[in-house]
């Protein structure tokens, strides 16, 4: 036995040295090819993702109207303005409400839909198809037909309200309801994503867990709480991070549904950045707001992952 | 005893069916609304309670929408932009991932980190500087302005790399022994073995670019350079709310291409997105 081991080791050592040499030779040979293959993508990433990040930070220290040849250095003036501006505070508040509403809405409803659709019933493929379909549609087009549906005089929502025995308010022109409406449309459009992800997660939970729990006399609710929810933990964390990032990027729905109004009631951070940059031509302020957004998103994602790691077990 | 259990099971099944029905109605009714709305007369649209089935389908709404704004041009712009961006991204992602997995070189870790970290940078932060770059290059109202700045891939490289790592090494070694070079290996072995992932990739990026709104809005300002989503928003503005029939017809035209892609590729979308979450 010992002899065998020794001979094996002996025969392995010599080729290993050769292999290493061979690998080194190839590493030298192949590096031009490697860099050639990754260069196009890398160059585009540097020019259109990393450089803008730096340039944006630089712009945030300037006062500039995007046109005139001189940019005036103002230091942290743009940040100070944002900090003291009551409109910007409202924008941050709107963003928080919008994010909580859309992330909470899509995840809770997505889980509910997934539980309903995770059943051995005929025709479920079609049902899943219908739930996911809105997710692939253009947000601008979706927003246009929701304006029609939300019309208090002749829209679908007014019809539903009258079935329920009430009258539909003028959603999009009401300062507080406008945000509710935008969140509702966003949830309708995007809930299919979390539904599909949760469905995939549900189908990976081993059935034996449920069978054992049933034998032990656990009811439906107990099985859900002690098996389903913990098993879905990692997926919930994934959805939380991805949905938050997506929510921060929502633009087309807001632009078409309310255009940020009424009176800034639905102006979120991204919408504000676009408005400051491309409508008010205030590059410095837009850039500073973009830095704020980036920082906010980074902190939230980091917190979510950190808190998640503590709560979620991955085994 | 068994009879009672049968009854309970029947009720449970019925309840589940009811819930599924409810979900389908909530999600499907708006789609039915826009599809039928596009075929209603103005009179039918402004009636309450609503008309559920248009008495005489108004196909003229589609013609009117098509003529109210240069829809044909919007479609050409969207098709060229989407296909151009997706083709470049597929090429870049395949080459990058191939290099990261199969080519021996120093600096792989760094390159992978640089690509993946780009996922953390929201498009919002790069919006204004990228607009300025494109303007300086004279690319406002051009296809290169619509395509090049969005053509870098991060997620796709990750997707392909994960898949390439699972490919059977023996097969690749055999092909290499038969004298297959890198390009041959990529073309004749790696790509054929990656077809499901490639389809998933294509669908995800196709949908993202077709629906993109903010970048085309910023980087074009002449009507003939607008893409379909921006064009539909414009149609809604010019027609006001006086003329809902053509507006809804235009909306349907904007929705149909991705609905078709979805119907054809549903299996891959579901697998790609559901599976991606579990692996990620």
Per-chain mean pLDDT for chain A: 89
pLDDT on residue A10:
45
- Among residues A238, A233, A225, A248, the alpha carbon closest in space to that of A94 is found at A248
Are B92 and A249 a contacting pair at CB < 8 A?
Answer: no
Q: What is the mean pLDDT of residues B79-88?
A: 98
The tens digit of pLDDT for each residue in B117-141 reads 999 898 889 999 999 999 999 999 9
Shared domain for B28 and B92, answered yes or no, is no
Q: pLDDT grade, residue B280 (50/70/90)?
A: very low
Shared domain for B89 and B161, answered yes or no, is yes
B266 occurs within a structural domain = no
Shared domain for B171 and B224, answered yes or no, is yes
Percent of chain B's residues with pLDDT above 70: 96
Structural domains in chain B (count): 2
Are B129 and A274 a contacting pair at CB < 8 A?
Answer: no
Strands A72-73 and A62-63: antiparallel
Whether B104 has its CB under 8 Å from any CB of chain A: the answer is yes
B180 occurs within a structural domain = yes
Shared domain for B4 and B114, answered yes or no, is no
Q: Which residues of B touch A49 (CB under 8 A)?
A: 118, 121, 126, 152
The tens digit of pLDDT for each residue in B203-258 reads 889 999 999 999 999 999 999 999 999 999 999 998 877 789 999 999 999 999 99
Shared domain for B3 and B121, answered yes or no, is no
Cis peptide before B49 (omega within 30 of 0): yes
The tens digit of pLDDT for each residue in A156-194 reads 999 999 999 999 999 999 989 999 999 999 999 999 999
Of B42, B60, B78, the last residue of a domain is B60
Shared domain for B35 and B147, answered yes or no, is no
Chain A window 12-51: which residues touch B at a Cβ cutoff of 8 Å? 23, 26-27, 29-31, 33-35, 37-38, 40-42, 44-45, 47-51
The torsion angles phi and psi of A73, rounded to 5 degrees, stand at: -75, 125
Q: Is B30 exposed, middle or buried (0-12, 13-18, 19+ CB in 10 A)?
A: buried
Shared domain for B18 and B157, answered yes or no, is no
Distance from CA of A2 to the nearest CA of B (A): 31
Shared domain for B131 and B166, answered yes or no, is yes
Shared domain for B23 and B89, answered yes or no, is no
To test the contact with chain A by mutation, choose from B41, B274, B279 the residue with the greatest count of A C-beta atoms within 10 A, namely B274
Check if the beta carbon of residue B100 is closer than 8 Å to that of residue B154: no
Cis peptide before B129 (omega within 30 of 0): no
CATH number at residue B104: 1.10.3720.10
Domain housing B167: 69-239
Shared domain for B161 and B192, answered yes or no, is yes
Per-chain mean pLDDT for chain B: 91
Shared domain for B202 and B174, answered yes or no, is yes
What single-letter DSSP state applies at residue A155? S
ipTM of the complex: 0.92
Q: pLDDT grade, residue B73 (50/70/90)?
A: very high
Are B277 and A188 a contacting pair at CB < 8 A?
Answer: no
- Among residues A232, A230, A224, A227, the alpha carbon closest in space to that of A208 is found at A227
B247 occurs within a structural domain = no
**Minimum-distance CB partner of B218 among A196, A278, A283:** A278
Kind plus residue range of the DSSP H or E element containing A62:
strand A62-63
CB atoms within 10 A of CB B243: 17
Q: Which residues of A touch B127 (CB under 8 A)?
A: 273-274, 277, 290
Of B60, B87, B110, the last residue of a domain is B60
- Among residues A301, A299, A269, A302, the alpha carbon closest in space to that of A286 is found at A269
Q: What angle do CA A67, A68, A70 make, to 5 degrees?
A: 130
Read off the pTM. Answer: 0.91
The span from the CA of A204 to the CA of A176, in Å, is 41
The tens digit of pLDDT for each residue in A210-238 reads 989 988 888 888 999 999 999 999 899 99
Are B229 and A127 a contacting pair at CB < 8 A?
Answer: no
Q: Nearest-CA residue of chain A relative to B211?
A: A138
Shared domain for B49 and B177, answered yes or no, is no
Whether A25 has a pLDDT exceeding 90, the answer reads: no
To test the contact with chain B by mutation, choose from A140, A268, A289, A314 the residue with the greatest count of B C-beta atoms within 10 A, namely A140
Q: pLDDT grade, residue A122 (50/70/90)?
A: confident
What single-letter DSSP state applies at residue A72? E
């Amino acid at each position: 036995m010992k002899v065998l081991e020794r001979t094996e080791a002996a025969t392995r050592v010599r080729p290993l040295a050769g292999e290493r040499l061979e690998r080194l030779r190839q590493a030298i040979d192949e590096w031009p090819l490697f860099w050639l293959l990754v260069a196009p993508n890398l160059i585009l990433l540097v020019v259109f993702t990393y450089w803008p990040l730096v340039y944006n930070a630089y712009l945030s220290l300037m006062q500039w109207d995007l046109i005139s040849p001189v940019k005036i250095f103002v230091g942290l003036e743009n940040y100070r303005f944002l900090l003291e501006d009551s409109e910007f505070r409202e924008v941050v508040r709107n963003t928080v409400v919008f994010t909580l509403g859309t992330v909470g809405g899509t995840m809770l409803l997505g889980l509910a839909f997934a539980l309903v659709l995770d059943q051995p019933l005929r025709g479920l493929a079609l049902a899943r198809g219908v739930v996911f379909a809105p997710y692939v549609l253009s947000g601008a087009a979706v927003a246009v037909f929701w304006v029609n549906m939300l019309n208090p005089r002749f829209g679908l929502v007014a019809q539903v309200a009258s079935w329920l025995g009430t009258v539909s308010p003028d959603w999009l022109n009401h300062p507080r309801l406008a945000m509710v409406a935008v969140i509702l449309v966003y949830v309708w459009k995007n809930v299919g994503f979390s539904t599909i992800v949760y469905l995939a997660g549900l189908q990976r939970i081993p059935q034996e867990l449920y069978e054992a729990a049933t034998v032990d006399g656990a009811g439906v609710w107990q099985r859900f709480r002690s098996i389903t929810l913990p098993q879905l933990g990692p997926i919930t964390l994934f959805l939380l991070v991805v949905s938050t990032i997506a929510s921060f990027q929502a633009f087309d729905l807001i632009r078409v549904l309310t255009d940020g109004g009424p009176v800034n009631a639905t102006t979120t951070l991204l919408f504000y950045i676009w408005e400051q940059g491309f409508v008010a031509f205030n590059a410095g302020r837009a850039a500073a707001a973009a830095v704020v957004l980036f920082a906010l998103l980074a902190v939230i994602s980091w917190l979510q992952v950190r808190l998640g790691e503590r709560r979620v077990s991955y085994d | 005893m068994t009879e009672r259990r049968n009854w309970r099971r029947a009720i449970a099944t019925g309840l589940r069916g009811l819930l599924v029905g409810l979900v389908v109605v909530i999600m499907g009714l708006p789609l039915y609304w826009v599809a039928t709305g596009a075929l209603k007369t103005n009179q039918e649209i402004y009636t309450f309670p609503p008309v559920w089935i248009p008495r005489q389908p108004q196909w003229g709404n589609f013609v009117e929408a098509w003529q109210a704004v240069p829809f044909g041009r919007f479609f050409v712009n969207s098709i060229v932009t989407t296909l151009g961006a997706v083709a470049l991204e597929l090429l870049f992602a395949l080459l990058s991932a191939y290099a990261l997995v199969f080519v021996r070189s120093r600096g792989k870790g760094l390159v992978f980190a640089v690509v993946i970290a780009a996922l953390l940078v929201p498009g919002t932060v790069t919006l204004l500087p990228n607009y300025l770059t494109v303007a300086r290059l004279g690319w406002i109202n051009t296809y290169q302005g619509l395509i090049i700045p969005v053509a870098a891939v991060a997620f796709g490289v990750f997707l392909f790399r994960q898949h390439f790592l699972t490919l059977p090494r023996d097969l690749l070694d055999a092909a290499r022994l038969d004298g297959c070079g890198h390009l041959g290996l990529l073309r004749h072995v790696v790509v054929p073995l990656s077809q499901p992932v490639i389809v998933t990739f294509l669908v995800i990026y196709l949908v993202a670019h077709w629906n993109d709104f903010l970048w085309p809005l910023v980087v074009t300002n002449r009507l003939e350079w607008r893409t379909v989503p921006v064009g539909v928003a414009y149609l809604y503005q010019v027609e006001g709310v006086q003329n809902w029939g053509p507006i809804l017809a235009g909306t349907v035209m904007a929705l149909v291409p991705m609905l078709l892609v979805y119907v054809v590729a549903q299996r891959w979308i579901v697998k790609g997105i559901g599976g991606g979450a579990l692996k990620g």
